[in-house]
Amino acid sequence: MIRSAFIAVAQSLQAAAALSRFAWMQPWVSIVQIFVGALQAWILWRLTYFIFERNAQQKVSERQASWFHKVVIDPQVPALESFFLEIDAVLDVAATRCQQAKLSAQTAVFDEVSRKAIEDFTHTLITARRRLVDRLRVFDDGFADEIGDRFLALQDKVTEWFDQMRSKKAIQGTTSLSDSLNEAHNGIVRRLMEFEFTKWGSATKQVRWRRAFLLRD
């Protein structure tokens, strides 16, 4: 009985001695636990902030893309279609009259018809150009300038077309005006689409472009 008591006391003393050897580590363990807890809290906060910021940016992008459609695509793409159809018809009539005047060697008639056609075309083009470019400047000045330059390039092509017809002996060698108009129209609409998908990316996925316009063949 006494022996058992001595053994128990000895074991208790040994355990106390063992604990005393590691007692110095307790403050450090507490510090590490506090540090790990703080690190976990910081990581959780950063993750929450990142998700919130990403969602907020996505909402802003969606709103900007929506406004781009409301201000530019919805009103201006149909207006662009009407503009090209109108000038195509007007220039086709003028080109036919110029061809007839050239075949009959009526230089004065050719000059008058071509001059009037270019003046009317330029006036209509400037109006359409200003209407679209002014809307685009709300979103991007550089892109607005690019689209404006496309209109000016088309103006130069039309003027050059009549000049070539006047100077060439063979009318058949002249490029079709309709081809130049279609190329310019498709190029402008394609750049509008590329600009939106480049600038706002996935925020434009919900937009159905084919409902807004059809590229001309």
The answer to the question of residue 197 being in a domain is yes
Q: Which domain holds residue 114?
A: 62-212
Closest CA to 154 of 123, 131, 132, 122: 122
Q: Say if residues 197 and 64 touch (Cβ distance below 8 Å).
A: no
pTM of the model: 0.66
The answer to the question of residue 19 being in a domain is no
The answer to the question of residue 26 being in a domain is no
The answer to the question of residue 125 being in a domain is yes
The whole-number pLDDT of residue 215 equals 41
Helix (H, G, I), strand (E, B) or coil at 140: coil
Q: What angle do CA 126, 119, 127 make, to 5 degrees?
A: 15
Indicate the number of domains in the chain.
1
The answer to the question of residue 135 being in a domain is yes
The whole-number pLDDT of residue 63 equals 78
Structure tokens at 20: 């005393």
Report the chain (217 residues): mean pLDDT per 10 consecutive residues.
55 54 61 74 70 61 79 90 93 90 87 93 95 94 96 94 79 71 95 88 50 42
Q: What angle do CA 141, 136, 146 make, to 5 degrees?
A: 55
Q: Where does 69-215 have alpha helices with state H?
A: 74-103, 107-136, 141-167, 177-200, 209-212
Residue-wise DSSP of 56-70: HHHHHHHHHHHHHII
Which residue type occupies 175? T
